[in-house]
Structure 1
Amino acid sequence: MPHSIKRIFTWIFWIFVLWAIFTSPNRAADLVLTIWEIILNGFNAIAVFFDRLLGG
């Protein structure tokens, strides 16, 4: 993907993020918390997997 197209999509993404925060801050915060929980649960699952794999 050419660099200019990537830059345009990056700007569109950040404009959308700012729009979402300004128009609905509570929903935006809920979304960030939900994404954070998904990431933490994923790392937790990986840790449990390797712990059991290594006989812990």
Structure 2
Amino acid sequence: MRNVPHDMVCDREAGNQRQGLGLMLVRQIAEVHGGGMEVSHGESGGFRVVIRLPYGI
């Protein structure tokens, strides 16, 4: 599987426009707070994003 968060930030196009920095920022914010982010293929296409944060945040 490709590095989906990086691809969404740098390579994904929608009508020849970049998608932005959203997933990269979400991952960085989660990591700063001791959590993380997982990206996988969705069951019906697309992708699934799971964000984990420690209890108490």
Question: Which TM-score applies when normalising by structure 1?
Answer: 0.35
Higher strand share: 2
Larger radius of gyration: 1
Higher helix share: 1
Larger relative contact order (CA 8 Å, sep ≥ 6): 2
Question: Which TM-score applies when normalising by structure 2?
Answer: 0.35
